[in-house]
Structure 1
Amino acid sequence: MRLLILGGTEFAGRAVTEEALARDWQVTVFHRGRHEPPAGVAALHGDRTAGPEGLSALTGGEWDVVVDTWSGAPSAVRDAAALLAGRAGRYVYVSSRSVYEWPVAPGLAEDGPVVEASADDWDDVPYAQAKRGGELGALAAFGEDRTVLARVGLILGPWENIGRLPWWLNRIARGGPVLAPGPRDLALQYIDVRDMAAWLLHAAEAGLSGAYNVVSPTGHTTMGELLDACVRATGSDAELRWTDPEKILAAGVEPWTGLPVWLPPGELHGAMHCGDVSKALAAGLRCRPVDETVADTWAWLRGLGGRAPQRADRPVVGISPELEAKVLEG
């Protein structure tokens, strides 16, 4: 298979590139040149934020599949897809479950209502509208029969540049009492970036089309199992002190950003961690155990000296030692 990956050097795109190379696919990476792509790919340089002229490197060539991880202005997806529609077989767009209209009911499937959006937006728009606009741009060029919309949820694993699992691993590695947000058996729903990559390429090979919620089944792991795995992976003497959500929230700790991954039981948790993924599972999605995701992320992180890359357009996650101590002592 001949793959064109739009991106391909960081986190999700990197995982897709590595998976394709492992399958002996011919891989072309189109990126801005800020990061080195994996060895063995053909590299094309351009800048999608510069409009159509930024895509000049893509005016030649043919591919079996395009994978696009873009999360900015939807017009960038529209323009790339329009340029490639006659020279590529299938367009796989990494979208998000954020495209569903709020409130998102637990158990919502792919036929749920989505936000109003446009593929023609050039300016920054809210994340949900950006991803839905990207979907519309891909569909306009490739049609429903040649487009895969992978609506992912929380992504974890090696190469993470958001900081969620790296923050927990580094915090637990320091040891001592650790603020563990309860309840301990709180169900989580996420996808290992490598499992996501494998399914995207499988979808292309199998000729799939349409929208899929690409994330693990709800309860694939729990908050307790995730943090226990962090303790095992790091070999730390950390003491997980499970704390009621009400106490954490009363102290001003922000769910999701202050304590990454965690959302207290309620509407937000139901929307993020309780989606229907039966369609993707029936279409071949497989999810590795949480211990493997955590251990491999820790090995990667140690190789970087504990300092994970950080996307400039995303907030730094985690709480300060002072705030953590205040909650634990309160």
Structure 2
Amino acid sequence: MRLLLLGGTEFVGRAVAEAALERGWEVTVFHRGTHAAPPGARVLHGDRTAEGGLAALAEGAWDAVVDTWSAAPSAVRDSARLLAGRVGRYAYVSSRSVYGYPTPVGTDESAPVVDGSPDDGEVPYAEAKRGGELAALDAFGDRALLVRAGLIVGRYENIGRLPWWLNRIARGGPVLAPGPRDLALQFIDVRDLADWTLDALAAGLGGPYDLVAPPGHSSTGELLEACAAITGSDAELRWTAPEAIAAAGIEPWTQLPFWVPPGEFHDTMHGASVGKALAAGLRCRPTADTVADTWAWLRSIGGVAPHRPDRPAVGLDPQAEAEALAG
């Protein structure tokens, strides 16, 4: 397979590029040159947001494209139109955020989606991803694969969620652990996302697929206890009720990554049905494997994960944690 990555040097794109190279695929990475491409990939440079920024893609043919763009949909529109006659299939890494909020437990690909346009410039995240989907569909039709990912974790993560928990628990001492301990979490290891996407392209799949681990695949307790075991920490996980966390003024999701209390937001984030992807071969590795791989990568780069400048920092300030635990 000849694969073109639009991006391919950070997080999801890099994981897809490395997985394709491991399969012996011929991989071309189109990017701005800010970060190094994976060894073994052919490199093309360009800036999708600049006038004439796609010039390097004016020639060439590929069996498939993977596009991870999450900003203005017009950039997806322009690349998809340019490549439509020279590429077999177009995989757009979208998001479950395209569904109208809230989504009840068991929501699947048939749920209503937000409005969007392939011609949009900068718009909110959900609308941007929906616009990107429409751009891919407009140019490729049933040759477009829409990978509606849930929460993505693992090596190369540049949002900071799992790296924050690993570093916090590695530091030891009393840790504010948001309860209930058995609260279900849904996320997907970036390697599993990469493998499924490549398999789907090779199989000629098209249309939308929700991509996240099955319901009940993990829990808050399993995740944080795996962090303690993998780091060898003496951390004391102090399970704290959602009511106490709210009373302390601590924000779910951002200050306590992954976690949201039981209710509407939790059902939306962690209640997806993924039967369609499972039937199409999705396999999700155990939580402990994801945590171990992320910790090994984090240590290999000195413990400080990269951070996307367009995303807010995550994690709880030590003083706020101490005050909540004391209260």
TM-score interval (norm. to shorter) = over 0.9
Partner of 1:117 in structure 2? 116
Structure 2 residue corresponding to 1:294, chosen from 291, 315, 318: 291
Cα distance in 2 between the residues matched to 1:117 and 1:149: 15
| 1:284-316 deviations in Å (ceiling 9; x for gaps) | 000000000000100000011110000000011
Q: Which amino acid aligns with 1:174?
A: R
- Paired-residue identity, %: 69
Correspondence list, 1:239-278, <5 A: 239-278=236-275
Structure 1 residue 139 corresponds to structure 2 residue 130: no
Cα distance in 2 for partners of 1:222, 1:40 equals: 37
The DSSP-based 3-state class of the residue aligned with 1:173 is helix
Tell me, in whole angstroms, the C-alpha distance in 1 between the residues paired with 2:228 and 2:71.
36
What does the per-residue CA deviation read over 1:111-149, in whole Å, with 9 as the maximum and x for residues that have no partner?
Answer: 110001111012x21100000000000000001x20100
- Cα deviation 1:211-248 (Å, max 9, x = unaligned): 00000001100000000000011000000000000110
> Match for residue 106 of structure 1?
105
Gaps of 5+ in 1: none
Q: How does 1:159-170 map to 2 (within 5 A)?
A: 159-170=156-167
**1:15 and 2:15 equivalent?**
yes
Q: CA deviation at 1:103?
A: 1.7
Q: Separation in 2 of the partners of 1:63 and 1:235?
A: 46
The runs of 4+ residues in structure 1 deviating greater than 4 Å are none
CA distance in 1, matches of 2:159, 2:215: 22
Is residue 2:239 matched to residue 1:236? no
Determine if the alignment matches structure 1 residue 27 to structure 2 residue 27: yes
CA-atom RMSD in angstroms? 0.6
Write the deviation string for residues 15-62 of structure 1: whole angstroms up to 9, x where unpaired: 0000000000000000000000111010000001115x1101000000
Deviations 1:235-273 (A, max 9, x none): 000000000001101111111100000011000000010
SS in 2 for 1:113: coil
Three-state SS of the structure 1 residue aligned to 2:54 is helix
Q: Which amino acid in 1 is paired with 2:26?
A: Q
Report the number of matched residues. Answer: 327
Amino acid at match of 1:261: F
Does 1:128 find its partner at 2:117? no
Secondary structure of 2:49's match? Answer: helix
Give the letter aligned to residue 306 of structure 1: G
1:1-330 equivalent positions in 2, closer than 5 A:
1-51=1-51, 53-122=52-121, 124-143=122-141, 145-330=142-327
What TM-score do the two structures reach when normalised by structure 1? 0.98
Q: Residues 130-172 of structure 1: CA distance to partner in whole angstroms, max 9, x if unpaired? A: 00000000000001x2010000010000000000000000000
Secondary structure, counterpart of 1:203 in structure 2:
helix
2: CA distance between counterparts of 1:27 and 1:274? 35
For 1:175 and 1:282, how far apart are their aligned partners in 2? 41
Structure 2: distance between partners of 1:203 and 1:325: 47
CA distance in 2, matches of 1:105, 1:240: 30
